[in-house]
Amino acid sequence: MSTAIAAPETLPGISPGIYSAQDFAAVSEIAHREAGIVLAEGKAMLVYSRLAPLVRDSGCATFGSYILRIREDAAERNRAIMALTTNHTFFYREAHHFAHFAETVRPGMIARLARGEKARLWSAGSSSGEETWSLLMTLLGPDRAAGERIAHGDVRLLGSDIAAHALRKAEAARYRAEDLKPVPEALTRAWAAPLPGSDDMEIAPTVRAMARFRTLNLLGQWPMQGKFDVIFCRNVMIYFDNPTKERLVARFADALVPGGWLYVGHSERVTGQALQTLTSAGPTIYRRSEA
């Protein structure tokens, strides 16, 4: 018989024995295999709190029986993985990235678009869209007329995430007005509008038309054929072990055009094979070699 984890037994209304150390180990193995997520031993209660509603909804009496289900049911397994991921983000997070993009990357991108060339950006792990819209508003700039001309070029941004529910919020492009406060005021005035009768704001149609959102597991196959000028993947790899991080960053490097840019989270660093083609260009900013 498995040994029950003590902490769940202390929760009111939870019978002892429905969640064990073996159950946690099984969930950890599935999360790592499917999404690269590393769940340390101290995360046992987090797993319990995130998955308990799914266990109840599924009609399973114990975590053990639910684990048997997710091993066989891909859709339910995906629901469990999404429940274990953290979708915390906010507008203009790590503002120095957007400042660098505006000052260093944007001018050349605008020039290429004016010549009829294309620009492709990827928000990998876009969650509920705040990063996507921050990046596109920065690209378009505070001048509405000039931004409209940029938007009419061949420019697209892919927002991808493993969590379908987060992408639905991103596609809705509707947020509380207070959520947009970190965005420079001039950009908010140009590219977001208050919704009558509410405290919400909506991202302008011009901006929304530039983005495409897709469900994507970064550890799986990538269906995209072309390469990207800019990839943002920030505060995603903190959940991965080092070998998984290095493999993923190497794939990002291969997905960039020569001279393309990779932005990672404040606690993330590029190591391993990717250093053959990526060089540091600032705090958590990397550029692919031109060759």
Q: Which 3 state secondary structure label does DSSP give 22?
A: helix
Amino acid making up residue 93: R
50, 69, 174, 251: the catalytic one is 50
Query: What residues are paired with 158 via a beta bridge?
Result: 122, 212
Report the C-alpha gap between 68 and 9 in whole angstroms. 22
Q: Is 161 one of the annotated active-site residues of the chain?
A: yes
Q: Provide the token pair at 38.
A: 């590393």
Q: Is 287 one of the annotated active-site residues of the chain?
A: no
Give the helix/strand (H/E) hosting 52.
Answer: helix 44-58
Neighbours of 27 (CB within 10 A): 26
**Angle 106-146-258 from CA coordinates, rounded to 5°:** 25
Neighbours of 256 (CB within 10 A): 23
Q: Provide the token pair at 1.
A: 């018989």
Q: Could you tell me if residue 129 is left (phi over 0), alpha (psi between -120 and 50 degrees) or otherwise beta?
A: left
79, 106, 120, 161: the catalytic one is 161
Task: List residues with catalytic annotation.
Answer: 50, 161
